[in-house]
Structure 1
Amino acid sequence: MTSHSRINDEQYQDYILQGVSRTFALTIPQLPEALRRIIGNAYLLCRITDTIEDDNALTIEQTRQLSDMFVEVVCGNASAEEFSLKLHPLLSDQTIPAEHDLIKNTPAVIRVTHSFNPVQRKALERCVRIMAQGMADYQETESLEGLKDLPAMNQYCYYVAGVVGEMLTELFCDYSAEINAHKPILMKLAVSFGQGLQMTNILKDIWDDRKRGACWLPQDIFLKNGFNLSKLQPGMNDTNFQAGLAELLGVAKRHLLNAMIYTSLIPPHEKGIRRFCLWAIGMAILTLNKINRHRNFSEGAQVKISRRSVKATILTTSLFASHNWILELLFKYTSRNLPEVSSHPAALSEIS
């Protein structure tokens, strides 16, 4: 392949990133140059996996078959062109135009994937394999009843986010011997980091998910608080439901505390990687705060953080990116109104 077409593939990658994720289009350019290309590519691979799972026009059989095929495409054992031609016509209007475009141009993304070193490729392949298989399993049991319990929610969060945390950590460790020195603890914390971000998304998207027939909340937490998830309705003022919600806000906060510990283990001079982590944590905390203040919200838009809040998060965390003690104070201050949970054995392994 000529270097000219490689450049075109990379230009496409930068372009489509803007369309499929505002957040990552913002955070990925913060990374050191050596990591930008691969993490941008990794995100797009996860987004393709996600698109297969999310479009309800696909049957369970098609979802499973296309997920398996995409894993083979990433590993270099199947044709990206064939995969693209098979999936693209099946997508419905439920999938956003930018994702239609991404699926159509899967071959360009895969050419970039296959240009990485063996360690990097292995990290990407492992992530996509675990994510695709895990998400397809959960998709088959999707219902409005919710997940059985908190461990089932943890498992779901691992498939969609924890495994991404592990992949990012592998890539950070491959990039820097200094980061690699903390690899065992970082790998553990990465799963918790991913779970904190994913739980924030689940809580924010309760009502949007319900509209498409899914509920990722754990039944046991709500039953313990006297509420049955099958009775859930938007805008409910049920105090038992809100008590369950409060408990999950507390669990998410604990995971994000582990995310802060993860970030503090990244060398202070690696400000780009720290910013990449801190912006995600900051936006998650602000979202949890908003949910906490409006526990009777009835659609995701009501708890979406403002652009001004996003700018303030970016400014503050960038200013203090290399100062662990200031970051610790900032986290304590911004999360002070969120519920506290005593260490829940099923909630998170005690790391901190």
Structure 2
Amino acid sequence: MEFLSLNTLPATDELLHGILKQVSRSFYLTLNVLPVGVRDQMGLSYLFARAADTIADTDLIDRAQRLKYLNQFRAQFTTAGIDWNAIREIQTALIPHQKDSGESILLQRLEDCFKLYEACSVGDQERIRWLMEVLPRGMEMDLTRFPGESSSQLTALSTLDELDRYTYYVAGCVGEFWTRMVCAHRQTMANWNVPEMSAIGVRFGKGLQLTNIVKDIGRDLQNGRCYVPESLLAEAGLKPADLLIEASLPRFRPVLDQLIGLAMDHLDQGWIYTMAIPVSEIRQRLACMWPILLAGETLKRVAVAPDLLNPAVNIKAPRSVVYRAVALTTLTCANAFVATTYWDSLRKQIGPA
């Protein structure tokens, strides 16, 4: 078992944090809640995941080229050394097309990110390498499974198994990665059964991704993507195109309730995961509590939203609710009774599937 910090000098640490501040100040602030010993590895992994996502989402470049650059990016984690020419090719092709300043900065600093990766311990490199082999499969699935860019080219997933596979690629694997990383670096986690807790961590990640799917359904439909499986829609007498009509929401509700119930079942497993974290690991507990509680607050609003299928609507917990959840759990030092009471209350408000 490895209990070492990222093998970096202070200047390297400053480099990573400088990039994170430039790319996403909100994520940088969230990152600071993580315990020492895993903070930098998680930050670097976030930058790589966001870079892969940026490559896949640059819609001003055709899909074949995006797939090429995505595979070129992923290959850097499987070869003996970094192909710096390949990195520069990605930068040259993609930077001019970025609308978001954070994504543009990230691509400009991509070489620095890989230098940080080279400075990681062998164990951390292996864990990040594993993540960057699995995570981009979800982005590749988006590019190949959904060939259109608009509602006129709408395509849906076929089955629940396909949805489950997709949620594993884009989020479930992060729970597995997280477990491996904290167990390698936090002495208090040494007694965890890594395979068992990784499996629960996978459920945690899937629950968060399903929450994103149901809250963003209107916008995804407009972009030609229906993550709601055709098999579920057929049970309600619906086709994917029916969801483009806002008046279809009442008929869609039973399907929505089923997806919300599935998300809640996954998040319940995430709560079990969180409560298994040693009491002394307050930072790690908070880092797990917050996304679950905010996902629950979001699902509560999704379940009753009258305009869910409207692509202009952005359903999320208001800032006051976010601040309340953060304050309550922080001021009580991630107390299990207080936080679980909050979660149970949310569970009842959302109701059974």
TM-score > 0.5 by shorter chain: yes
Q: What's the CA shift for 1:265? A: 0.8
In 2 relative to 1, CA 253–277 (structure 1 residues): closer, same or farther, beyond 3 Å? Answer: same
Q: Identify which range, 304-313 or 64-73, moves more after superposition.
A: 64-73
Listed as ranges, the gaps of 5+ residues in structure 2 are: 1-7, 148-153
State the secondary structure of the residue aligned to 2:146: coil
CA distance in 1, matches of 2:304, 2:54: 32
Please tell me whether residue 50 in structure 1 is matched to residue 50 in structure 2.
no
Report matched runs for 1:232-311 at 5 Å: 232-233=243-244, 235-297=246-308, 298-299=310-311, 301-311=313-323
* Aligned partner letter, 1:308: S
* Residue in structure 1 matched with residue 324 of structure 2 by the alignment: 312
* Residue in structure 2 matched with residue 348 of structure 1 by the alignment: none
Please tell me whether residue 15 in structure 1 is matched to residue 21 in structure 2.
yes
Q: Identify which range, 59-68 or 74-83, moves more after superposition.
A: 74-83
The equivalent position to 1:154 in structure 2, one of 157, 164, 169, is 164
In 2 relative to 1, CA 93–304 (structure 1 residues): closer, same or farther, beyond 3 Å? Answer: farther
* Residue in structure 1 matched with residue 5 of structure 2 by the alignment: none
TM-score relative to the length of structure 1 = 0.88
Identity of aligned residues (%): 24
CA distance in 1, matches of 2:102, 2:299: 28
Q: What's the CA shift for 1:180? A: 3.6
* Residue in structure 1 matched with residue 41 of structure 2 by the alignment: 38
Please tell me whether residue 327 in structure 1 is matched to residue 339 in structure 2.
yes
State the secondary structure of the residue aligned to 2:297: helix
Please tell me whether residue 100 in structure 1 is matched to residue 104 in structure 2.
yes
Q: What's the CA shift for 1:112? A: 1.6
Q: Identify which range, 83-92 or 136-145, moves more after superposition.
A: 83-92
* Aligned partner letter, 1:96: D
Q: Identify which range, 96-105 or 191-200, moves more after superposition.
A: 96-105
Q: Identify which range, 289-298 or 175-184, moves more after superposition.
A: 175-184
State the secondary structure of the residue aligned to 2:244: coil
Q: Identify which range, 316-325 or 209-218, moves more after superposition.
A: 316-325
* Residue in structure 2 matched with residue 215 of structure 1 by the alignment: 226
CA contact (8 A) 2:23 2:103 kept: no
Please tell me whether residue 90 in structure 1 is matched to residue 102 in structure 2.
no
Number of aligned positions between the proteins: 338
CA distance in 2, matches of 1:127, 1:286: 29
* Residue in structure 2 matched with residue 117 of structure 1 by the alignment: 121
* Residue in structure 1 matched with residue 175 of structure 2 by the alignment: 165
* Aligned partner letter, 2:110: T
* Aligned partner letter, 1:216: Y
CA contact (8 A) 1:161 1:195 kept: yes
Q: What's the CA shift for 1:203? A: 1.1
In 2 relative to 1, CA 7–322 (structure 1 residues): closer, same or farther, beyond 3 Å? Answer: closer
CA distance in 2, matches of 1:177, 1:229: 49
Listed as ranges, the gaps of 5+ residues in structure 1 are: 342-352
Q: What's the CA shift for 1:191? A: 0.8
TM-score relative to the length of structure 2 = 0.88
Please tell me whether residue 28 in structure 1 is matched to residue 31 in structure 2.
yes
* Residue in structure 2 matched with residue 6 of structure 1 by the alignment: 12
CA contact (8 A) 1:146 1:215 kept: yes
* Aligned partner letter, 1:175: H
